[in-house]
Amino acid sequence: METYADPSQQPTMSVKQAVATLEECQPDQLGTLSAVVDINELVRVLDPPSDRESVAFRYCGYSVEITSDRRIRVEP
């Protein structure tokens, strides 16, 4: 699945919404992202100009990558 981080939301919520869509649940039913990724890194990759092009991590059994162009990829 591929989607984009909503610029009006925190990146954590955009990631949780993408995974929740695949899990067919509400984002608040998922675990905390800070347990698996540095939240500051998520914010930094989306904050131009960024020195990082992407951040990748595992979350709820999925491989998640968020890129500097706000793309979120979620794969099993």
User: Whose structure tokens read 């954590």?
Assistant: 12
Q: Is 73 exposed, middle or buried (0-12, 13-18, 19+ CB in 10 A)?
A: middle
What pLDDT is recorded for position 52?
A: 85
pLDDT tens per residue across all 76 residues of the chain? 999 999 999 999 999 999 999 999 999 999 999 999 999 999 999 887 777 899 999 999 999 999 999 999 999 9
Q: 3-state secondary structure string, the chain?
A: CEEECCCCCCHHHHHHHHHHHHHCCCHHHCCCHHHCCCHHHHHHHHCCCCCCCEEEEEECCEEEEEECCCEEEEEC
